[in-house]
Amino acid sequence: MAELVAICGVPHNPLLWRTMRADPVPDDLARTKERFDTFGERIRDAGADVLVVVGSDHLRAFQWDNSPAFCVGKAERFACTFENEIRTFGLEPWEVDGDTELAGWLLGGTTLPTEFDFAMSNEWVLDHSFTLPAVFMTPDLDVPIVPIHTNANIPPIPGPERYAALGTWLRDRIEAAPFDRRVALIASGHLATEIGGPRQFLGGGSPDQVFDDEAVRWMAAGDLAGAVAGCSFERLAAAGNVTGQFLNFLTALAAAGTGASFAEGVPSRFANGPFFWWDV
């Protein structure tokens, strides 16, 4: 039987890749690196043999003309990096194995689940929303990935209650799998963040510290109802134009069903970085 052995939430800002590889790591990013390292150690200690990564493609694989609400990657192996990510952020042309058996099971087997009309992709180049959490916590990329894209970027987006329902579905479906897997569920997203606007990267400040404080409190307290109520499209957009990707953490919170044992918005030169860990 499959087992959910770890649940966490982490940031995926691609600028972290180049800046955190400096030696020594810049002072304002040392805590971010420490958190990634600690979470990676915990995932290894839990014996996870597959990562289910819930993230939001940045209009690379899924664009304005066609972006499913939820899509499960079912490829045997994934290419991981787009050319603009290599050129702009110094990311590398990684590849990582998939897990077709687990992906197929999450999709419902031969019939889609009544709860979700998932899209499925057998060919999918993963962007940094999926690859950076994996490479920061499993640097050798030796743990297979089942990616789940959520459309948190292109309105109309799924409402917060749908992200919560996804977390409940993933937990129950993983635990009902008739094959052995030790699964780590990783949510990938942002706290308040703005890209390309006047509040981008304020040198250690958040574009909306009030939202960040409340978001961390939701995770620590296990307040799923408060998080759902507080994550309207209007509130997320007011906090920053890519803050919608915070919704992925509602999936992790619902899957855990309890407050995070560790919840922090770690300041950096870019924005506060979300780090949430649930003891399973």
pLDDT tens, position by position, 216-225: 999 999 999 9
pTM, two decimals, is 0.95
Among residues 228, 229, 150, 139, the alpha carbon closest in space to that of 187 is found at: 150
Contact 165, 254 (CB under 8 A): yes
Q: What is the pLDDT of residue 206?
A: 87
Contact 165, 32 (CB under 8 A): no
Q: What is the pLDDT of residue 194?
A: 84
**Within a 10 A sphere around the Cβ of 182, how many other Cβ atoms?**
16
- How far apart CA 101 and CA 146 sit, in angstroms, is 10
Q: Residue ranges of the alpha helices (H) in 25-127? A: 27-45, 83-89, 100-106
Q: Which amino acid is at 75?
A: A
- How far apart CA 141 and CA 225 sit, in angstroms, is 35
Structure-block tokens of residue 217: 């409190």
The separation between the first and the last C-alpha atoms of the chain, rounded to the nearest angstrom, is 16
- Angstrom CA distances, 246 to 67, 198, 233, stand at 18, 20, 11
Q: Which amino acid is at 39?
A: F
Pairing of strands 145-150, 181-189: unpaired
Task: Give the list of residues 6+ apart from residue 132 with CB closer than 8 angstroms, or none.
Answer: 12, 13, 14, 16, 17, 91, 188
- How far apart CA 264 and CA 249 sit, in angstroms, is 13
Q: What is the pLDDT along the chain (280 residues), one digit of tens a residue?
A: 899 999 999 999 999 999 998 889 999 999 999 999 999 999 999 999 999 999 999 998 898 888 999 999 999 999 999 999 999 999 999 999 999 999 999 999 999 998 899 999 999 999 999 999 999 999 999 999 999 999 999 999 999 999 999 999 999 999 999 999 999 999 999 999 987 666 666 666 788 999 999 999 999 999 999 999 999 999 999 998 899 999 999 999 999 999 999 999 999 888 899 999 999 8
Domains (range + CATH), the chain:
2-278 (3.40.830.10)
- Angstrom CA distances, 48 to 2, 210, 221, stand at 11, 35, 26
DSSP SS3 for 23 = coil
- How far apart CA 79 and CA 126 sit, in angstroms, is 6
- Angstrom CA distances, 130 to 7, 264, 266, stand at 15, 21, 20
User: With the C-alpha atoms ordered 194, 200, 206, 209, is the resulting torsion angle positive or negative?
Assistant: negative
